[in-house]
């Protein structure tokens, strides 16, 4: 059902670990995680957040059935939500990056102007940028985006722009993406959305106390 989908397992304490679906049926999922979950035991409640290439972002409430090394089997799946398709899965950020302004047909670094780029939101296919200057449509903006594990070089093509009090905001498409780059952005979106939801839940819980 969700084989090879990227996922994040969220425990009752808010701890998160990412991995991918190793096997699934209509009632159970086996997630191979990047690290062992020694604090989990059969019967523990968890939330599973998946980014499926077909269905988009799917969230389940579940119960741990078994834990073995980096494998976690969950069952009693209750679907909590389905949001967005993969290409549209977008997360709000406000990340300042080093960048440069180029032109179509030129390689990064060739006769370019250095600039500070603020990333406002990002998806696996597009990005919204804040820059200090007016740019014509079609301009290429090269920048280094921070993801888990380092900096990811990206190139965005300006599709539309509008002036704001803080600068110019641009809607852009990401161009020249490799499969690896797309996966890294996809994983960043999933993990960041999960962290933002966790903070929202913590804030709601604190305000109700």
Res 53 pLDDT > 60: no
The H helix count followed by the E strand count for the chain is 1, 12
Chain segment 78-90, per-residue pLDDT in tens: 988 877 555 557 7
Q: Spell out the domains of the chain, with CATH numbers in brackets.
A: 6-83 (2.40.10.220), 90-186 (2.40.10.220)
Number of neighbours of residue 73 by Cβ within 10 angstroms: 18
Alpha-carbon gap, residue 202 to 197, rounded angstroms: 9
What pLDDT is recorded for position 50? Answer: 85
What is the pTM (predicted TM-score) of this model?
Answer: 0.57
Chain segment 111-140, per-residue pLDDT in tens: 568 999 999 999 888 999 999 989 999 999
Cα distances (Å, whole numbers) of residue 4 to 1, 91, 114, 194: 9, 22, 39, 19
Instruction: Name the 3-class secondary structure at 137.
Output: coil
Q: How confident is the model at residue 101 (pLDDT cuts 50, 70, 90)?
A: very high
* Token reading at 63: 């119960």
Chain segment 166-179, per-residue pLDDT in tens: 899 999 999 999 98
């Amino acid at each position: 059902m969700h084989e090879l989908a990227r996922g994040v397992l969220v425990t009752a304490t808010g701890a998160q670990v990412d991995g991918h679906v190793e096997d699934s049926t209509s009632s159970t999922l086996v997630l191979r995680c990047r690290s062992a979950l020694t604090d989990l035991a059969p019967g523990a409640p968890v939330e599973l957040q998946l980014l499926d290439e077909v269905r988009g972002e799917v969230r389940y409430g579940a119960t741990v059935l078994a834990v073995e090394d980096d494998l976690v089997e969950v069952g009693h799946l209750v679907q909590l939500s389905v949001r967005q398709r993969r290409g549209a899965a977008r997360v709000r950020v406000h990340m300042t990056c080093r960048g440069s302004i180029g032109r179509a047909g030129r390689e990064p670094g060739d006769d370019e102007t250095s600039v500070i780029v603020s990333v406002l939101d990002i998806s696996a296919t597009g990005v919204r940028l804040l820059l200090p200057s007016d740019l014509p449509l079609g301009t290429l903006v090269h920048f280094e985006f921070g993801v888990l594990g380092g900096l990811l070089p990206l190139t965005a093509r300006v599709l539309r722009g509008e002036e704001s009090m803080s600068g110019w905001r641009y809607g852009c498409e990401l161009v020249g993406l490799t499969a690896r780059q797309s996966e890294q952005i996809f994983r960043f979106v999933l993990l960041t959305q999960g962290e933002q939801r966790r903070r929202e839940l913590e804030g709601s819980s604190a305000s109700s106390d």
